[in-house]
Structure 1
C-alpha cells in the first residue's frame, strides 16, 4: 500500500505541474495585460516574462518534491540526500515568496489609477502565505530528519 500511495502522490505532483504549465501558456492569451496584444508581443511583455522566470522556482520545488517521494519509496528517507532535497524545497519556497511579493509591490506602486489591483494583490498575499508555509514545513522536516540521521549515526558509532 505504501508504494501505491507514493506513486499516487508523484502522479499528483506531475498533474500539478501540467496544470500550472497549461495555465502559464493559456492565461496570458486571454486575461489581463496581454489580452489585446498579438501572439508575438504577448510573450515579450516584461511582466509575463517575470511570471515565467518566477515559475522556475515553483517547478524546481515540484521536481524536488517528486525526488523526495522517490527517496521515500526507496527507503532512503534517512539520508543526507533527502535532507538536501528538503533544504532545496525550503529555498525554492523562500525565493518564490520573495518574487511574488516583489510582483505585488510592483503592481501596487505602478498600476494604472483606473485599474483596481485588489484581486491580484489578494492572490499575491495568498500565494506568498502558501509559499511561507511550505518553507516552514520543509525547514521543520529538514531539522527533524537531520536530527534523526545524527542520532542514527551516533548509535552506529557506539555499537
Structure 2
C-alpha cells in the first residue's frame, strides 16, 4: 500500500517537472534576439534579465523536486523518521526561499514588461512567489514536526 502511494507521488513529481522543463526549453526559442517582439524599444532591454531570472529560478525548483524524490525514497525504505528526511525537507524549504528571492529581484523587470506589453507578468510573478511561500511554510512546519517526532522516538528508545 505504501509503495503504491509513493509511486503515485513520484509520478506527480515527474508530471510537475516535465511542463516546467518544457517551458525552459520553449523559453529559449521565445527569447530569440531577432524576434520582432523584442525589437520594440520598451522591450529590448528586458529580454536578458527576464531570461536569466527565469533560468536562475529553475535551478532551485529542480533541486527541490530532486529532494522530494529523495524524501519519497526514504519513506519507501522506512526511514521517514530520520535525520535524512529532515535534511531533505530543510533543502526543499531553502529552495523555496531561493525561488522567492529570485522572483522578488525579478519583479521590477516583470513590472516593466507589464507596462510595455499588457502581459500578466506581475500576476505570474506573484503567483510563483506565493506558491513558493506556501511550500516554504509547509516545509518549515513539517520539518519542526518531524524533528519533534524523532526526538520523542529517541527518548522512547532510551527508556525501553
What is the TM-score of this pair, normalised by structure 1? 0.84
Aligned partner of 1:146 in structure 2 is 147
Which of 51, 66, 77 pairs up with 2:69? 66
What pairs with 1:38-77 in structure 2 (closer than 5 Å)?
A: 45-77=48-80
Tell whether 2:138 aligns with 1:134: no
Cα distance between partner residues in 1 of 2:18 and 2:130: 23
Residue 64 (structure 1) shift: 0.5
| Distance change (3 Å), C-alpha of 1:133 and 1:82 | same
- Judge which range, 123-132 or 8-17, deviates more: 8-17
Aligned partner of 1:123 in structure 2 is 124
Aligned partner of 1:4 in structure 2 is 4
- Unaligned ranges ≥5, structure 2: 39-46
Please tell me whether the aligned partners of residues 34 and 45 of structure 1 are also in contact (alpha carbons under 8 angstroms): no
Tell whether 2:87 aligns with 1:84: yes
Tell whether 2:96 aligns with 1:106: no
| Distance change (3 Å), C-alpha of 1:113 and 1:131 | closer
Residue 45 (structure 1) shift: 3.1
- Once the two structures are superposed, what CA deviation does each residue of 1:63-115 show, in whole Å capped at 9, x if it has no partner? 1011111111111000000001100000100110111111112332x558543
- Unaligned ranges ≥5, structure 1: 38-43
- Once the two structures are superposed, what CA deviation does each residue of 1:32-79 show, in whole Å capped at 9, x if it has no partner? 987447xxxxxx934312211210010001110111111111110000
Please tell me whether the aligned partners of residues 79 and 149 of structure 1 are also in contact (alpha carbons under 8 angstroms): yes
> Alpha carbon RMSD of aligned pairs, Å?
2.3
